[in-house]
Structure 1
Amino acid sequence: MTQLSTFHSGIALRLFSAFLMTAMSAVVHAAADSASLAQLVFFRSAVALLPIVLYMLWQSDFPRALTTKHPGLHVTRSLFGVFSMAMSFLSLTYLSVSNAQALAYLTPVLVLPLAAILLGERLTRITFVAIGLGFGGALLLMWDALSVPTELGYIGVAAGLAYAGTMAFVRVHTKTMTKTESATTIAFYFAVVAAFVGLVCLPFNWQPLDLATLSWLILAGLIGGVGHIVSNEAVARAPVSTLAPFDYTGLIWALGFDVILFEVWPGALGLWGICAITSAALIVAFSGAPRRTPKKEKSRLNS
């Protein structure tokens, strides 16, 4: 596979993962009325092990993919990932899917400086324009939710901001790990750690589950497991800063889920937000892959 085709496959995988993760968020939002936060984390992670292991078998990587020379990196990445997941689910509990996603998509803005500093990725003007458009679209989408805040709404907003901050670190940390670790290895150990944390917390945060809620929880795990693999594969194929604007396309799916599943309709600002987000994705799609800053040039710029 050539560098260009690898780059484009990374974008395609990111678009697909945006849909999957948004679908998972809609399912979590549906289950959050009856399930506790610990149950959401446990089922999302434990059930996700099934598609992850099946993917390993399909790739003929099981059990070889379970071998790692960097267990400490997996522990760090997984613990930050568990916290990010919990904050995301807490945000989805108190906000609509589209508003929770809007807050979550502040992550690409925070990823940019980290990608430049830690990964040496060169940020072009066109990338900043695309990120600015996407960020503006996200603000438009969540403006209505923040204009008439409630106490529970504040909790949702705070959790969404906490998710965005920690997820920015997780994205960059995952990119550094893909140099030596496969996407399935990263996804597997994250699911194991997250399921363990959720299991430990279950006795303190248990709620009786009916069949419908249990079905939502299992579905969230299956979709989340596939989405996690796809997301990691995308990061392995293209620069983090290039993939960042494509995360915003998940907001379009989020609005659709709000309308179809929860009968929450966007206003005029939401429609403008969709236009801005779509424009951001299209700009990056036709601008090509950014190059890394050469070591000599990077040293000169830092001097």
Structure 2
Amino acid sequence: MAPGHIPALLQETLEWMTPAPGEIFLDGTTGAGGHAAEIAARIGPRGLLVCADADPSMLEIAAPRLSAFSWVRLVRADFADLDVLREAAGGRTFDGALLDLGISSVQLDDPARGFSFRVEGPLDMRRDPDVGGPTAAEILRDTREKDLADLFFRFGEERFSRRIARAVVERRKRDPIRTTAGLAELVSSAIPRRAWPRDIHPATRVFQALRIAVNRELSSLGVFLDAIPGHLSPGGRVAVISFHSLEDRMVKTAFRRPASGPGDGEPMLERLTRKPVVPSEREARENPRARSAKLRVARRRDGGDGT
């Protein structure tokens, strides 16, 4: 990315979020710090930006980029841990909160993390390698065939989920699937060659499904969406960039949810984007990883009590 150049979707995110001098912001998915640096520059030294990431390696990468902003606080935490993040803000509510749910290029390109079929590596896929819970290899080893098929279909929207699950179970009888290359080869062979997708690798959806399952991403997103209105100041904005239809559906529903319960009262959040904002054709062409991105933004209505 050229100096001074801001990707179009990031520029639109900033325009919808309108970070202003002195405001308190949360970047719940700091990554390499691209969004955070732009927000920090806009809120200035009278503001405060809490930058969270569950992956300690990403915070290490972001730290030098954000070191010029003394008003940035780096926190190793999942974005669903809003009480912890609120504490990092001194207990104050946020004027803006941002989630970018896409996986970082740094994570994808590191063979040791096991996120990508493009490079040989162990099937780990944990964002935080220090947390408990199964790796992708352990899920493939221990999950029943029917549950594997459901996982691939639900989280990956893979229409050949049953064939792939059956192939996994047959393979693991002889030899556990431990590497990214081994899984990618197995998935490719399980899908009829004529049915391979044109624009993505045949294993893309299975890798996506496993990553979501390993990191319990939908569960974390649900907790965040339920709780974030109470952590926003009146008029505070929340923006979510999603890359999966299930994620986008959750965000869309949450931004319409009544404050009390189904059918009771008005939504606590006011939608600012009636339809999701998507990358331009040029941006999608220049950055294929961004082509499925969808941005939705909402604002907390005035009044009501925060947590």
The two structures have a TM-score, normalised by structure 2, of 0.25
| Bigger radius of gyration among the two | 2
Higher helix share: 1
TM-score, with length taken from structure 1: 0.26
